[in-house]
Amino acid sequence: MSVALAVACMAGTAHAQQAPNDEFGIERFRLAMDGSGILDVDSATIPGHGSWGLGVWTGFAHSPLALYDPAMEQAGALVGQRITTGLVGTISLWNRIQLGVAVNAVDYQASTGNVDAVAGADSLQSAGLGDLRVAPKLLLLGGPLERFHVSIILGATIPLGAPGGYLRESGPTFMPELAVSWGGDLLRLAGNAGYRLRQKVTVADLVVDDEVFARAGLALRLAGTRDDVGTEIGASASVATALDPKANATAAEVMLGGSQRISRSTRLFAAGGIGLQKGFGTPDWRAVLGIRVQGIRGDRDGDLLADRDDRCPDVPEDRDGFEDRDGCSDPDNDGDGIADAEDKCATNAEDKDGFEDVDGCPDLDNDKDGLADDSDKCPDQPEDKDADRDDDGCPDPDGKVAGRVVDAEQQPIPAATVVIEQLDRTDRKPIELTVADNGTFSIDVSAGAVKVSARAAGFQPGDATLKVADGEPAPVVIALVRIVRQGQLRGQILSFNGKPLAATLSIVVGAGSRKATADADGFFSIDLPEGTFQVVIESPGHVTQRRSTSVKIERVTVMNVDMRRGR
């Protein structure tokens, strides 16, 4: 499906024998008058007095004038193929006026498809001259070194070639338009808007009459281009529509192109475009190729800036994207004392802070800890990001816990597990580690209260809480008590007549003693380590008894006692 069509719509067979009127021009591409324009969009700037320019282009357009049936299906093209050549020339006067002329010639054109419905279509002229365009431009706003300009262009065309063949207008036309433009070091913008007055022509259902038109374009000089070798890409969009509602002739087209400077005054360019509406003169697609030559009067250094506008008329502008409109070479754009050729950041000044000051780049974060140097108390030492005073940019001196895990005899317990809990830091998870063979361990922690827990097989767990200061070791020794494997002594205390007695049992264990108490039913039990023990049993109103008994590990020893009354 085509997206770039021009229309000469047919309402039906009633128009099949209508004689054609082919005295109107269909060439909508017009090359910008000078090199400051963008493709087909004229700039508002005026070069210095006496500056001149010439441009030659040739282009191919596919189906710029098509026929459609009532179902809006393309039946053919009155002009299906066209090759056009154009010439433009300008000269600037008094720094305020530019005189421009342009002329087009059709080198070849032909009809395609079924065009029998329009009588005479098969006699299309294959070549001929078009119109002469005269376009004086007057600067209204903006100076030589300013970026924004506004001008008025009072364009007009005069037919040159033979009538017919859609080669030229049927008479003179007048095209006043307003041009605005903005030029930066790398980016340029331009726009035109105007009104075309022309004689009214009708062919089939197409009405060619006065129309309003607008164009807009942007151009970008590719980064890294310098001096007289510059590459630029540009894009433009154009639209034109008749004010008469019967003139069904809205045309719209977009183009994309590029240019390459091959000398200080010569530039090659090429572009391609597609149509967006079915207005006459809008092709399915077009391609353009050309060359421009620009001459600047009074340009001693040959940098294409007139001496009157050139702050350094004897030193050519380096055209590196930095202040390229003043005419001065900028060997050190950012003024940091490092030549651009050696400066990795030619437009950003080195900060000269004693850190990597020879690369030409400002080092806003020397230690690369994410905190800008101007708010970093330690710009050359990275923040340790440990959730402890992380906003000052300084690594926080850690405290240290250094300890040992030992048994009751102060002997190291190898392979003991130690868990460190930082009590003042709820955002920190407990740290678990294993002690060395000599029972020692060491770890950095944040300052504050720390709980150290230790555990080992065969020992009861132990812990200690201590205060840790910044940059200072906190010693700790955790002594674990060995777990003793035990047996059990149990039994019942009865009177001689078989009644249970409340009694107290005292058992000698090493240098001390253990006690057990019989309950109301006379039963007692006590866990004891393996060994033989002396047991003293006492009950009020009964004679005290002494027994010797042995306990085995993980065994139960039963000792039942009968007590007689006594004092």
The CATH number of whichever domain residue 261 belongs to comes to: 2.40.160.40
Does residue 73 sit in the same domain as residue 221?
Answer: yes
Do 316 and 287 share a domain, yes or no?
no
pLDDT for 254 beyond 90: yes
Residue among 154, 198, 209 at smallest CA distance from 173: 198
Cα separations in angstroms, 173 against 18, 43, 159, 501: 26, 21, 9, 136
Residue range 338-374, pLDDT digits in tens:
666 665 676 666 556 665 556 657 655 566 666 566 6
Query: Rounded distance, CA 188 to CA 217, Å?
Result: 8
Total domains, the chain: 4
Query: Is 121 a domain residue?
Result: yes
Of 306, 330, 354, which residue constitutes the final position of a domain?
A: 330
Task: State the number of CA atoms in the 13 A half-sphere of 252 facing the CB.
Answer: 5
Q: Which two tokens stand for residue 307?
A: 């001496």
The mean pLDDT value of the chain amounts to: 80
The domain of 319 spans 298-330
52 and 109 together in one domain: yes
The predicted-structure confidence for 116-169, as pLDDT tens digits, reads as follows 555 445 577 889 999 999 999 999 998 877 889 999 999 999 999 888 888 888
Which pLDDT score is estimated for 485? 72
Supply 361's token pair: 């780049």
Model confidence at 61: pLDDT above 90: yes
Each residue's pLDDT tens digit, 262-283: 887 899 999 999 988 878 888 9
Contact 220, 204 (CB under 8 A): no
Statement to judge: residues 105 and 228 lie in one domain: yes
Q: Is residue 160 part of a domain?
A: yes
- What digits encode the pLDDT tens for the residues 85-118? 999 999 999 889 999 999 999 999 988 866 655 5
Which of these three, 479, 500, 528, is where a domain ends?
479
Is 373 a member of any domain?
no
Asked if residue 408 has pLDDT above 50, the reply is yes
pLDDT value at 519 more than 70? yes
Q: Are residues 223 and 274 in the same domain?
A: yes
Question: 499 by DSSP, 3-state: which?
Answer: coil
Find the distance separating the first CA and the last CA of the chain, reported in whole Å.
127
Regarding whether 171 and 262 lie in a shared domain, the answer is yes
Considering the domain boundaries, does residue 495 fall inside one? Answer: yes
The yes-or-no verdict on residue 301 having pLDDT over 60 is no
